[in-house]
Amino acid sequence: MDWFDRRIVQYMLHWQPFGGPPEEEVLPRFGMSLPQLNRRFDRIVKRMEVQREALRSEDVALLSAVNRVKVEAAVKRELESAESPLRWPFSTSAEPRFV
């Protein structure tokens, strides 16, 4: 992975907790629109996944961070889309016991 792709991944990870980078900042920083940056980021991550064995350790750490963020986002979407609150999976008057 080259320095520019690495910088894109780092940038996108930095802005992820805020819903992504501000559109007005992307063009002057990377020379592309936000949709273009998103597509480029997706391509970079896919390439990293395919070439994982050849990545440097710092790039493997970046890929792990991206995958962690993807899982967290999927869980958050799932919880937000639930129509009813989380409930114990079966009817019972007893409190669930965890062994």
Residue 94 domain flag: no
pLDDT of 95 reads 46
What's the rounded Cα separation, in Å, for the pair 20 and 11? 9
Spacing of C-alpha 96 from chain mean position: 33
Residue 88 domain flag: no
Summarize pLDDT for 32-90 with one digit per residue, the tens.
Answer: 999 999 999 999 999 999 999 999 999 999 999 999 999 988 888 888 877 555 555 54
Domain membership of residue 37 as a residue range: 3-81
Residue 87 domain flag: no
Residue 99 domain flag: no
Residue 14 domain flag: yes
Helices (H), 32-56: 34-50
Residue 95 domain flag: no
- Specify the number of domains making up the chain: 1
Dig out the tokens for 45 from the structure. Answer: 């991550």
Residue 64 domain flag: yes
Residue 60 domain flag: yes
Does 95 or 22 have the greater pLDDT score? 22
